[in-house]
Amino acid sequence: MKTSIATVSISGDLREKLDAIAGAGFHGVEIFENDFLIYDASPREVGRMVRDAGLALTLFQPFRDFEGMPEPFRQRAFDRAERKFDIMGELGADLMLICSSTSQVALGGIDRIANDFAELGERAAKRGLRVGYEALAWGRHVSDHRDAWEVVRRADHANIGLVLDSFHTLSRRIDVNSIRAIPADKIFIVQLADAPDFDMDLLYWSRHFRNMPGEGDLPVVDFMRAVSATGYDGVISLEIFNDQFRAADSRAVAVDGQRSLLNLMDQVQRAEPQLAINLPAIAPPVEVERVEFVEFTADRHAAEPLVAMLGAMGFRHTGQHRSKDVARYEQGGISVVVNSDSRGLAHRTFQTRGLSAYAFGVRVPDAAAALDRAVALGAKPFTQNLKSDDLNLPAVKGVGGGLVYFFDDSEALAKVWDTEFVALGSPEPIADAGLGRFDHIAQSMPYDEMLRWLLFYSSTLKVEKTPLVDIIDPSGLVRSQVVQNDDRSLRITMNGAENPATVAGQFLAETLGAGIQHLAFASDDIFATAEILQSRGFVPLQISPNYYEDLEARFGLDPDFVARLKRHQIMYDEDAGGRYLQLYSPILSGGFFFEIVERQGYDGYGAANAIFRIAAQRRLVGSRAMQSGRAAT
């Protein structure tokens, strides 16, 4: 597998781009003409920079409005092409991309266009150069790779070939199987991009919203399967026009790019096992059996309100670490670990970020294989310090520098709870509150990190992602997207905040970064759970009474049922599959909170209720601020 990426995909000047691209392990780079034109170095120097960075110069692009021109424009187009060939000679580039014309004066006609390319092929051959033709989705006469291929076929010149770009094909929903019949040696390069499924003008969509394969909604795997079926094993090159990426950290975006290509080709290889794709063998996507535990960082003092809330929710203190200040709380199949020790990553995290749910563990069939896959795809392994206070499990760094642990049934790991913890008998066995398992883990992060973590989860784990939804916070937009496995034993919701005034944005500011902002537990009878919680003094988040008025009318609910919901401050939603009931805790320090849900066939996350929940949280935070203000005076 030879990977490449266009300089337009990355932020910085040409030097920074090349460093980031080489650092991430790409084989080559496409020089986008503008990046070269605005850079203050000669073509020869730029060519040397590319080679010194250890990169191949895979493509020089784009050359526009070449084909189908009437005279005198035709002659000028050829003259322009010769000038670019001169520059390519100095750069040391041997492949040029010509994208289909958008010029108002360009004429159509496959043969006319093919003749132009045949003549250009002659000129390119004299200089040892090759030219690839790409159908822009918005091209004036050619906007479909099938037509571009017909042009190339009729041009019938060894130095003229086709450029396939997944965005142009997939944005127009062209059948990718039409690619399978193209001879591999006539495909000069393959460009790859994904995009979110937006209904918008093709050019605008392409120039601003492309993203890495696997980050969007286009069937890029199907596209690449068709390309691979031709026998093509040349360069696969990312060409990602994305405003966010151009403003982001160049190195991180380059690493994401490399991960996306590896993950893409791994999927192609698994779908087409008969193809011999030149790819390092990596472990298969990790099947998650369940969320094993979530770990909080705290100290004795900060742990108090958390532990009190866990107690009110029916958790029992069932274990204590043999040598460290780490406690385990359990209910049903849920384990919560509170790490108040004064050593290790947990403590360092606590010192900088305060009380936070910084780690979670998932049970998988083979923890070592899970770690291998994550690391092969660019995750950073967390290497344990034997003296640290962190659980001794395989782990990688996740959102906000937190950890994702892998847990399996192998002897040592299965016994972690027994070997590292002393089981505590409960002196007064308290009834649990009917919480059986984790329903979802909700992580908040800056919006521009969302695609990265979406790709992290969806490439490492066997999960699917849901479409992006907008959550309306009264202070701004929060975008939310979910990764979940088939049986829904893993559900991770990711909230991306752009605006620091939103509740998610405030969480990021208060905890100095991304992380788990809330945990949702599942109950099979939320009313019974709510009764028990109430008897323990748990006061749920107080929802506006207007919400309940509206609810009754919105869903045509029985007034008595709505009165019960209101009594317990339970929120309600419906989807095609059934009903959803949700209850929220107040906010703990650092902006963390719990949710309790009951699903009756419902598969979503109550997005329609988020605005009411967020408004209630704002009122709570506001009234606390007033009270502490009063206490201070």
Q: Which residues are annotated as a binding site for a divalent metal cation?
A: 134, 165, 191, 239
3-state helix, strand, coil in the chain (%, to 5): 40, 25, 35
**Which lies closer to ligand DHB via its Cβ, residue 169 or residue 609?**
169
Shortest separation between residue 132's beta carbon and ligand DHB, angstroms = 9
**Which lies closer to ligand DHB via its Cβ, residue 223 or residue 457?**
223
Shortest separation between residue 226's beta carbon and Mg ion, angstroms = 17
String marking each residue 193-232 x if it binds ligand DHB according to CB under 6 A? -------------xx-------------------------
Residue 65: contacted member of Mg ion, ligand DHB, none (CB under 5 to 8 Å, by partner type): none
**Which lies closer to ligand DHB via its Cβ, residue 99 or residue 148?**
99
Shortest separation between residue 137's beta carbon and Mg ion, angstroms = 10
Alpha helices, DSSP H only, in 354-449? 367-376, 411-414, 416-420
Whole-Å CA distances, 169 to 141, 162, 220: 15, 13, 10
DSSP code of residue 248? S
**Which lies closer to ligand DHB via its Cβ, residue 210 or residue 316?**
210
Shortest separation between residue 279's beta carbon and ligand DHB, angstroms = 25
String marking each residue 49-88 x if it binds ligand DHB according to CB under 6 A? ------------xx--------------------------
String marking each residue 121-160 x if it binds ligand DHB according to CB under 6 A? -------------x-x------------------------
- Pairing, β 28-32 against β 2-6: parallel
Residue spans of beta strands (DSSP E) within 353-432: 356-363, 395-397, 403-407, 421-423
Residue spans of beta strands (DSSP E) within 88-170: 95-99, 130-134, 160-165
**Which lies closer to ligand DHB via its Cβ, residue 236 or residue 288?**
236
- Pairing, β 326-331 against β 316-321: antiparallel
**Which lies closer to Mg ion via its Cβ, residue 65 or residue 239?**
239
Nearest to 583 by CA among 478, 384, 434, 400: 434
CA 128, chain centre distance (Å): 41
Element (H, E) at 566: helix 559-568
Whole-Å CA distances, 239 to 30, 56, 145, 200, 209: 8, 16, 17, 19, 12
The residue sitting closest to ligand DHB, measured at its beta carbon, is: 62
Binding segment for Mg ion (CB under 5 A), chosen from 165-173, 174-182, 225-233, 557-565, is 165-173
Residue spans of beta strands (DSSP E) within 151-238: 160-165, 187-192, 235-238
Residue 207: contacted member of ligand DHB, Mg ion, none (CB under 5 to 8 Å, by partner type): ligand DHB
Residue stretches of the annotated binding site for Mg(2+): 440, 518, 595
From candidates 67, 239, 256, 595, binder to ligand DHB by CB under 6 A: 239
Binding segment for Mg ion (CB under 5 A), chosen from 10-18, 160-168, 290-298, 594-602, is 160-168
String marking each residue 229-248 x if it binds Mg ion according to CB under 5 A? ----------x---------
**Which lies closer to ligand DHB via its Cβ, residue 11 or residue 206?**
206
From candidates 101, 191, 258, 459, binder to Mg ion by CB under 5 A: 191
233 contacts 429 by C-beta, under 8 angstroms: no
Contacts 24+ apart (CB under 8 A), 406-409: 406/286, 406/361, 406/362, 406/364, 406/367, 406/370, 406/371, 407/292, 407/361, 407/362, 407/363, 407/364, 407/367, 408/363, 408/364, 408/365, 408/366, 408/367, 408/370, 409/365
Calpha distance 66→75 (Å, rounded): 10
The residue sitting closest to Mg ion, measured at its beta carbon, is: 165
Calpha distance 96→89 (Å, rounded): 11
Q: Which residues on adjacent β-strands are paired with residue 293?
A: 361
Shortest separation between residue 335's beta carbon and ligand DHB, angstroms = 49
Name the token pair of 510.
Answer: 């208060």
Shortest separation between residue 137's beta carbon and ligand DHB, angstroms = 8
Calpha distance 364→346 (Å, rounded): 23
From candidates 165, 287, 389, 408, binder to Mg ion by CB under 5 A: 165
**Which lies closer to ligand DHB via its Cβ, residue 168 or residue 373?**
168
> Which residues make up the interface to ligand DHB (CB under 6 A)?
61-62, 97, 99, 134, 136, 165, 191, 206-207, 239
Q: Residues interacting with Mg ion, by CB under 5 A?
A: 165, 191, 239
